[in-house]
Structures are given as structure tokens and as C-alpha cells.
Amino acid sequence: MKIYNKIFKNPWTYRTGAVLLATFNILLFYTTGRMWRVTNGIVSIGAFILEKIGLEPSKWYYFTTYRNIDIKTSESFLANPYILLNLAIILGALISVLLASEFKWKKIKSKKQLGFALLGGVMMGYGTRLSFGCNIGGYFSAIPSFSLHGWVFAFFMLVGAWVGSKILVRYLL
């Protein structure tokens, strides 16, 4: 029971988390030849939904020119393994929080909070398409890939976070 509490009840240190996340990213690259990314899978879900409602996102310039290693042209958007990875992260977090008996539905507190969540989410999502990646694909996997864009992304993400913090202090807190 002591071991159970240590693993599933007590929080881990950031350092433990960092070492494990790096290890899993290395493991993913070693076994599948792909690195950890998040947005890639989310775009595929979005494109799949658009396809279902009758649009043709697969004909978009982005998918015809930059599809290359994401998914093969013949495959459907749902074949993208990054979708599975994202769902697994949600389920993994759920398992972890349940084993600690700490799961609780946390409601949205106000309309203001909802508005900022929508705004922030759209800004993040749109930003990822310009900068080739989110905090994972454009930073956590990009810097170890020796791509300069990872460093530039990190620096300007810091600038953005500073701007965001000012907005947060001014309007939300």
C-alpha cells in the first residue's frame, strides 16, 4: 500500500515528470520514427469533422503541399496515429486522477472565463499553423530536433506568455 500511495496518491516532482516525458518521447521516436506532437492529431479530427459535413479539406493547400510525413495521401484523416495519442493522454490522465480518488467535475465559473477560454483556445490553435507546432511539436520536440524554429518559438512563446500574463492580471484576476 505504501508503494501504491507513493505512485498514485502523492504527486510526483516536476523533475520526475520531466525525465519520464523525455524518455517517452525518445521511446516514441525510437519505435515509430515519429516524435510527440499534439496539434497534428487535433487538426486531423477537425478536418475529419469538416469532411463529414460535406467540405473537402483534403484539397486544401496545406494538405496537398505539407502533408508529407503526417499521413499518407491515400489514408483518411482518422488514420493519423496522433489522434490516438491525444485520446490516450486524456484517458491516461483520467486513470491517474481516479486511482488517486481525486476526480471531480469542475464547472465553468463565469461567462468571462468562458469567453477567455474560447479566445485563448482559438489564438493558440491559429498560432500553431503559423509556427509549425504547439508547445509540444514546436518546442518540446523541435529543440531536441536541432531545428532553429524551436528556439525562436520558445523565445516568442515567452514574449506571448508575458503579454498573456498582463492581460490575465488586468482583466481576469
Partner 1 sequence: MSKAIEELKLKRQGQFKKRSSQVPCGMICIVLAVAIYALSLQISTNHSTFWIIGILIGVTLQRSKFCFSASFRDPVLVGSTSLLKAIILALIISTIGFVAIEYSNSGGSESLDWIKTMGQVHPVGIHTAIGAILFGAGMVIAGGCASGFLMRMGEGFLLQIVVFFAFMMGAVIGTWHFEFWDKVLISNSPTIFIPDYVALPFATIGQVIILLFLYFLADWYDKKNSIMSM
Using CB under 8 A, which residues numbered 13 to 72 contact partner 1? 13-39, 42-43, 45-47, 50, 57, 60-63, 65-66, 69
C-beta of 108: minimal distance to partner 1 in Å? 5
Give the Cα separation of 105 and 10 in Å (integer). 20
CA distances for 4 relative to 92, 94, 96, 140, angstroms = 17, 17, 12, 30
Residues touching partner 1, count (CB under 8 A):
129
CA distances for 75 relative to 43, 72, 79, angstroms = 15, 5, 6
Q: Is the distance from CB of 61 to CB of 28 less than 8 angstroms?
A: no
Which one of 56, 76, 112, 163 is in contact with partner 1 (CB under 8 A)?
163
Residues 6+ apart with CB under 8 A from 137: 35, 36, 37, 38, 39, 40, 128
C-beta of 163: minimal distance to partner 1 in Å? 5
C-beta of 41: minimal distance to partner 1 in Å? 9
Applying the rule CB under 8 A, the residues between 112 and 151 that interact with partner 1 are: 113-114, 116-150
C-beta of 128: minimal distance to partner 1 in Å? 6
Following CA atoms 59, 65, 69, 71 in sequence, which dihedral angle do they give, to the nearest 10 degrees? Answer: 0
Provide the mask over 72-111, with x wherever binding to partner 1 is found by CB under 8 A and - wherever it is not.
Answer: -------x-xx-xxxxxxxxxxxxxxxxxxxxxxxxx---
When asked if residue 1 is in the footprint of partner 1 (CB under 8 A), the reply is yes
**What would you measure as the largest C-alpha separation in the chain, in angstroms?**
56
Cell, residue 55: 467540405
Which one of 3, 56, 59, 168 is in contact with partner 1 (CB under 8 A)?
168
C-beta of 100: minimal distance to partner 1 in Å? 8
